[in-house]
Amino acid sequence: MPAGPRPAAAWHMATLFISDLHLHPERPAISRCLLDFLGRLDPTQRLYILGDLFEAWIGDDHPEPAYRPVKQALQNATAAGVEIYLMHGNRDFLLGPRFARETGCTLLADPTVIDLYGRRTLLMHGDSLCTDDREYQRLRERLRDPQWQREALALPVEQRLQFAEQARQLSAAAGRERDAALMDVNQDEVRRVLRRHDADLLIHGHTHRPGIHRFEDGGRRRERAVLGDWYEQGSVLRASDAGLELLSLPT
């Protein structure tokens, strides 16, 4: 690593976290914002995408032209030496090994524990923390079942597209999109997962309620950083040896 002072407010030498971009062909400004962000990354940085990169993903074999520049930008960044890690969200849980291979991203399990500047840090998408929404947790269990996923991916692309569009319209009609965004994590579940993984810092997305929460639990100071969505702007959590900072990107 070259020695010397770092420019103030630079993103150099940082670990960056994003989630909930919900990329969709109908929202090209967000894709452009991401392309710009990815184009500025350098190999001293590491990027974690903690779920819901895409609004929907029906399988790696689906050639959606609107997503080609995104795949290319991810590939360019990883080829330039940036490490990019990708976790599934509740929308893009069918992202698979082919996508990872084509973009150079590394797929991460939910949850994953990493060492973040000496802190044992738990990474999650966040939907599994919303235990108050029992109906959703039952659905999640079904959709994450490997058998169900194998069968779904074996259907013709046309049929998968129809199902995805139906699911999207149903969820919009029922206003569940809004409910889901408003449904927050269950604080007891947050404490439980932090204890179970012996971590003091949890980073997650999904709730679209960006913030950094500090609390005491069992005599330990713990922290929960929530990533913001990419609807009105880009949203990035920057971690460095100086700490955590939530930043917005203009679209």
Q: Which value, in Å, is the radius of gyration of the alpha carbons in the chain?
A: 18
**Residue 52 beta carbon to Mn ion: minimum distance, rounded to whole angstroms:** 4
Among 22, 206, 208, 222, binds Mn ion (CB under 5 A): 206
Span near Mn ion by CB under 5 A; candidates 25-33, 170-178, 202-210, 229-237: 202-210
Nearer to Mn ion, 204 or 222 (CB): 204
56 or 239: CB nearest Mn ion = 56
CB 20 within 8 A of CB 207: no
- Smaller CB distance to Mn ion: residue 41 or 123? 123
Query: Binders of Mn ion among 27-86, rule CB under 5 A?
Result: 52
Residue 73 identity (one-letter amino acid): A
In angstroms, the CA 52 to CA 39 distance is 20
User: Please, are residues 237 and 19 in contact by the beta-carbon 8 Å criterion?
Assistant: no
Nearest to Mn ion by Cβ — which residue?
206
Taking the complex as a whole, the smallest distance from the CB of residue 243 to Mn ion amounts, in Å, to 26
Kindly tell me which of 14 and 224 has the beta carbon lying closer to Mn ion.
224
* Closest approach of Mn ion to the CB of residue 139, in Å: 13
Q: Any contact of residue 88 with Mn ion (CB under 5 A)?
A: no
CB under 5 A: which stretch of 100-108, 147-155, 205-213, 224-232 binds Mn ion? 205-213
Q: How many CA atoms lie within 13 A of 76 on its CB side?
A: 14
* Cβ partners under 8 Å of residue 137, min gap 6: 128, 130, 131
**Which is nearest to 26 in space by CA: 61, 62, 52, 64?**
64
Q: In the complex, what is the shortest distance from the CB of residue 176 to Mn ion, in angstroms, rounded to a whole number?
A: 12
> Residue 90, interface with Mn ion (CB under 5 A)?
yes
Cβ proximity to Mn ion, 160 vs 208, nearer residue: 208
Return the number of the residue (46 or 206) whose C-beta is nearest Mn ion: 206
Asked if 110 interacts with Mn ion (CB under 5 A), we say no
- The three-state secondary structure class of 52 is coil
Token pair of 119 as six digits: 């802190």
Nearer to Mn ion, 120 or 168 (CB): 168
Q: Report how many residues bind Mn ion under the rule CB under 5 A.
A: 4
Cα atoms found within 13 Å of the Cα of residue 101, Cβ hemisphere only: 5
Minimal distance, residue 173 CB to Mn ion, in Å: 19
Kindly provide the b/e burial profile for residues 196-215, where b requires at least 16 CB atoms within 10 angstroms of the residue's own CB: ebebebbbbbbbbbbeeeee
| Separation between Cα atoms, residue 48 and residue 66, nearest integer Å | 22
Task: Measure the CA–CA gap between 31 and 10, rounded to whole angstroms.
Answer: 23
Binding site for Mn ion (CB under 5 A): 52, 89-90, 206
